[in-house]
A and B are shown apart, each in its own frame.
With several copies, the nearest count.
Chain A
Amino acid sequence: MSDAVKGWNRQQMADQIAREFQDGWIVNLGVGMPTLCSNTDIGDRHIIYHSENGVIGYGPIAPAGQEDLNLVNAGGQNVTLNPGAAVVHHADSFAIIRGGRIDVTVLGAYEVAENGDFANWRLAGTKGGGIGGAMDLAACAKRVFVIMEHLTRDGRPRLVRRCVLPVTARGVVTLVATNYGLFEPAGEGFRLRELAAGIAVDEVRSGTSATLVI
């Protein structure tokens, strides 16, 4: 995936999502671009980052040479702990998730549909898949936000009327950041909440296989 895409870069997409986080929220960040949300400056709002492996209240990536090799986030990166952190085992960690304590999960995706369905665990033509904690998170977090490139590598839209790939959960996504802008699945079509600098509305329209509501 190249940074030489149109519109927002990876960090700017993450910034759009992170600015939604409210003080005191418990936030679970998926592997890849969602991880970048923790770099966003959101002032003095206190966020508690939860990771599937049972780490509650992790902080920034550990500086090189100062890693605790037994402390990783969901992406396997060596992170630090913020004051007030706690560690639980995997079943208790998913008890927190299924119990509805996660205010938002931010996930990557292959496709998001206008009805809030999304797909992120199996590519077309592959056997098996990579579910990880996404199905638990998507079914149970209070909010599901997605960060993804607006188009696939071969130029096809990822914002679609109905998912073609096998879904991760149905009707759960309420906010999507792409390099083209910030979108809300609106039942019929996607509402454009914010347009990325350097992107024209027509570009968004032609890159989206669902109605665009402005």
Chain B
Amino acid sequence: MNSKQYPSFRDAVADIPDGAIIAFGGFAMPGTPFNLIKALAEQGAKHLTCIANTTGGAQQPRMPDLGLLVEQGQVRKVICAFTAATRASDVLPFTKYYEAGEVEAELVPQGTLAERLRAAGAGIPAFYTPAAVGTELAHGRETRVMNGREYLLEYALPVDYAFLRARRADAFGNLQFHRSQRNFNPVMAMAARVAIVEVDEDILPVGAIDPDQVHTPGIFIHRLVRVPPPPGGIWPVVRQERRR
């Protein structure tokens, strides 16, 4: 069995073509693949469809995130739970490009986003959810009443690539996440044809992780890159709190 370890972030994203559909793990800083995103910004693939919780850039300090790819003109469309700031005083890097019509957006409730990714990975082409029923998001869409309650039909969201971040991996790709680093990462791995992981710690020999304690099985994972210590690698930092 070949190790799935790649020597660099550049190597791990080298083959990503224009037009690819990519899911990015992360909720705030934990679990966000900053290093892979930076490599993709350097690689330059265009017309991407990007799936993530937010369009990036809302938090300080600024990190390489989806907003960076948008600013570089690499993104055709985003699918996110946040496509605008929730406070009028905030301005996202994304907003300028969105309002100018240079990038499309699909706004999805966060739980629906997670479940659509999970469904893609689980071979479930569509499911019903109560989220967004009665809202603008449900306009013109198919709903169904079951047991007296109305539900919205939602479709699976398969992706070509998933960019993930984990605490620990063995060479087969079995993953462990630390605390809220987990977030979207496991379901994005399931939804992807090719899952690429940046890993906090040295890649372990196969079998070093207790089979009962694997968070994402290695069968879902294709490429691993060890994150170098700072300043070579990008790591989460304390968020700069703003008064609100």
Contacts and interface: CB of A to CB of B under 8 A. Distances in A.
Contacts of B238: 64, 67, 69, 78
A201 B99 CA distance: 43
Interface in B136-170: 136-137, 167, 170
B interface: dominant SS: loop
B117 A140 contact: no
A178 interface: no
B98 A127 contact: yes
B186 interface: yes
Contacts of A82: 207
Contacts of A132: 53, 81-82, 86, 109-110
Contact of A76 (B28, B99, B120, B214): B28
B62 interface: no
Contacts of A122: 84, 136
B72 interface: no
Interface stretch (A12-20, A166-174, A182-190): A166-174
A133 B123 contact: no
A175 interface: no
Nearest to A81: B211
Interface string A126-138: 1111111111100
A87 B212 contact: yes
A164 interface: no
B95 to A, nearest CB: 7
B180 A169 contact: no
B139 to A, nearest CB: 10
Contacts of A136: 109-112, 129, 131
A176 to B, nearest CB: 18
B35 interface: no
B: contact size bracket: 35 or more
Given A1-B244, A69-B29, A93-B114, A31 B130 contact: no
Interface string B197-225: 00000000111010110110111100000
A135 B109 CA distance: 6
A: contact size bracket: 35 or more
Contact of B239 (A31, A77, A93, A100): A77
Given A70-B178, A87-B182, A97 B123 contact: yes
Interface string A1-29: 10000000000000000000000101000
Interface of B: 1, 27-31, 53, 59, 81-86, 88, 95, 98-99, 105, 107-112, 114-115, 117-118, 120-124, 129-137, 167, 170, 172, 174, 177-187, 190, 205-207, 209, 211-212, 214-215, 217-220, 235-239, 241, 244
Given A77-B239, A88-B217, 10 more contacts: A72-B180, A83-B207, A86-B217, A89-B114, A93-B111, A98-B111, A131-B108, A135-B132, A140-B131, A170-B133
For the complex of A and B, the 4 pairs showing the least CB-CB separation, nearest first, are A98-B123, A83-B207, A94-B111, A128-B83
21 contacts: A53-B180, A69-B237, A69-B238, A71-B30, A81-B179, A85-B207, A86-B211, A87-B212, A88-B182, A95-B121, A121-B86, A122-B84, A128-B84, A129-B82, A129-B84, A135-B131, A136-B109, A136-B129, A167-B136, A169-B134, A170-B135
